[in-house]
Structure 1
């Protein structure tokens, strides 16, 4: 072997964490696969979260009604309006999710010892990865929300125009509006997602075939995505409303927990879960897609990249 080649000792068994750059690649492929498949549901979710009450005659009464009205009144392409910012951030975002989770796993095992409860470790690393991920995604989330709001139709001519106008009229720091709410949203989702995955995998017997392993991962990821969505939707509702407030308007929502209390007080408990159905339809199966694609790409890297260098 030439100098600089990996040996088995460099990455251990096939189930040890990949080197960071390969974790990043696997997470990126998983993230882009998920968003291309499920993005229209994110547009529908945002419309419901921004809708106060029933929304009047132009309001949406169901997911089907929302899809129908968007396509009829705004065109099919509107279901993908605002996708450029998520696509741009999706690779580093999902890569950060999985790579940071695995790096935090190594860190916490070294600090707390290898005998730490697996599910407790998964929750701790998930929360930490979520906080790390949140700092990265805030500006992209803000541009996406502005583009998805039907009230902003005609105001922005695409992602770069939206970015330019936000910075020009509201200042560069406006891109980080909603950071605190985003921290809550991502910490809760990632902690719930990775913690639940570990719990489900503990309950489901090990698969004996590759297809069985894919199915096991999809079930664990889908259950994890559903549970995580149940945990974080109230924070997501408030984050969406905070980020849709332009400078110069009356800022009704400022901080997350007071925002959650305000939505509950003015609109009731159900309002905290506005957009939950399209969100869970995306992030339940989407969570399964994420885990399956990440695991599949990681396995291919281990077999066809790392082992070939030994």
Structure 2
């Protein structure tokens, strides 16, 4: 029987999560731009291919990476926090409830807790990213620093935390679904005998986890985009998560709550697999080379 892997210290968990996060965002960011635009739109929705063509034709290919500076700046601590917090909450809850190993409910609980922790960190960066991705702001903000400066000057520093509640819901639900599904899928997959089989298992589990998390939290993501997209012009229509869900469903139909779903699931399904594969690979490298 193989010996149980030694847990990574927090700083190594942080580093592995950072590398995983930056890798994922560099691969998947254009899909995030398409997703956000679909969620902000109240008109007829476009398919992913059509959206890509429209953006490239009318605004240029570089638009697919507009606003990337904000998520890049927070991506390392964000992803690192996701995985490191999940590891720390796992240890805490195992001790608190007297559990010797991780169970399905524990995996969900630690994921939810890690998601709330992550949300507290990223809200200002998410808000700036949303504003930059909104085509209505193409001539208003000329870069991430310019957007940040104008938001603080025109709307006040607290505006950077607009959408905090919706973001907490979004991340709690996604992380709970993500880590809970990973636990279930890994338990069902054949035991990996080689490194390649382990990488494949991690990718499959991460992809299923990312997909299921996206199915659960897409409505909250739509609400978050609408709340953070408000720039002080006209009446404020969206604020708290649940009333906003009801308003959108009533005025635009329940299907609107799943706008951007295909782009998001294409990003966070395979993206979740990329995250887990890179995180586990870097973790194993650090464990092998820097720990006894």
- TM-score bracket for this pair, using the shorter chain length: over 0.9
Partner of 1:127: 112
Q: CA deviation at 1:248?
A: 4.4
Aligned length: 290
Residues 198-223 of structure 1: CA deviation (Å, up to 9, x unaligned) = 00011112111100000000000000
Q: CA deviation at 1:116?
A: 6.5
**Considering only CA atoms, is the larger Rg found in Structure 1 or Structure 2?**
1
Once residues 290 and 102 of structure 2 are traced to their aligned partners in structure 1, the CA distance between those partners, rounded to angstroms, is: 32
**Structure 1 residue 51 and structure 2 residue 41: aligned?**
yes
Q: CA deviation at 1:269?
A: 1.4
Give structure 1 stretches of 5+ with no counterpart.
1-12, 55-59
**Structure 1 residue 30 and structure 2 residue 15: aligned?**
no
Question: 1:14·1:302 contact (CA, 8 Å) conserved in 2?
Answer: no
Q: CA deviation at 1:23?
A: 0.1
Partner of 1:253: 238
Q: Indicate the larger mover: 112-121 or 70-79.
A: 112-121
Q: CA deviation at 1:79?
A: 0.1
Partner of 1:163: 148
Partner of 1:186: 171
User: Which of 124, 129, 138 does residue 139 from structure 1 map onto?
Assistant: 124
Q: CA deviation at 1:21?
A: 0.2
Give structure 2 stretches of 5+ with no counterpart.
none
Moved over 4 A (4+): none
Question: 2:38·2:46 contact (CA, 8 Å) conserved in 1?
Answer: no
Q: CA deviation at 1:64?
A: 0.6
- TM-score calculated relative to the size of structure 2: 0.97
Q: CA deviation at 1:134?
A: 0.1
- Alignment RMSD: 1.0
Q: CA deviation at 1:68?
A: 0.3
Question: 2:112·2:176 contact (CA, 8 Å) conserved in 1?
Answer: yes
Partner of 1:16: 6
Partner of 2:277: 292
Residues 187-244 of structure 1: CA deviation (Å, up to 9, x unaligned) = 0000000000000011112111100000000000000000000000000000000001
Partner of 1:270: 255
Question: 1:126·1:187 contact (CA, 8 Å) conserved in 2?
Answer: yes
Question: 1:32·1:87 contact (CA, 8 Å) conserved in 2?
Answer: yes
**Structure 1 residue 200 and structure 2 residue 190: aligned?**
no
- TM-score calculated relative to the size of structure 1: 0.92
SS in 1 for 2:291: helix
Once residues 46 and 256 of structure 2 are traced to their aligned partners in structure 1, the CA distance between those partners, rounded to angstroms, is: 13
Q: CA deviation at 1:267?
A: 1.0
